[in-house]
Amino acid sequence: MGSSGCRIRIYVEDLLAQGVENEGAKLETLKYRVVRPNQYYCGEIDVGINSTTKVEEDFVEENKGGD
C-alpha cells in the first residue's frame, strides 16, 4: 500500500488459465480507475499483462518415455 492509502486488486485467474491452455495469453493495456473502499476516487492506472507458458526441459525429458 502506497502513501496515498489506495489499494489495487486485479483478478487474473481466467487469464492465467487461458495462458496454460493456449501456451500464452495477453491482456492489452487498459486504464483502470482506482477507488478507495469509501468510494473516494484516487486516480487511474494503466495495466497490461502478458502470460507465457514455459516448459522446463528436465520435465519434458522425464516424460518422453510414454506409457
- Residue 64: pLDDT above 70? no
> What pLDDT does residue 2 have?
47
Q: How confident is the model over 34-61, as a mean pLDDT?
A: 79
Per-residue pLDDT tens digits for 5-40? 666 777 788 777 877 778 788 878 889 888 888 888
Give CA–CA dist 65/54, Å, rounded. 20
- pLDDT band of 59, cuts 50, 70, 90: low
Where do the structural domains in the chain lie, given as residue ranges? 13-62
pTM for this model (two decimals): 0.46
| Distance in angstroms (rounded) separating the CA atoms of residues 19 and 53 | 7
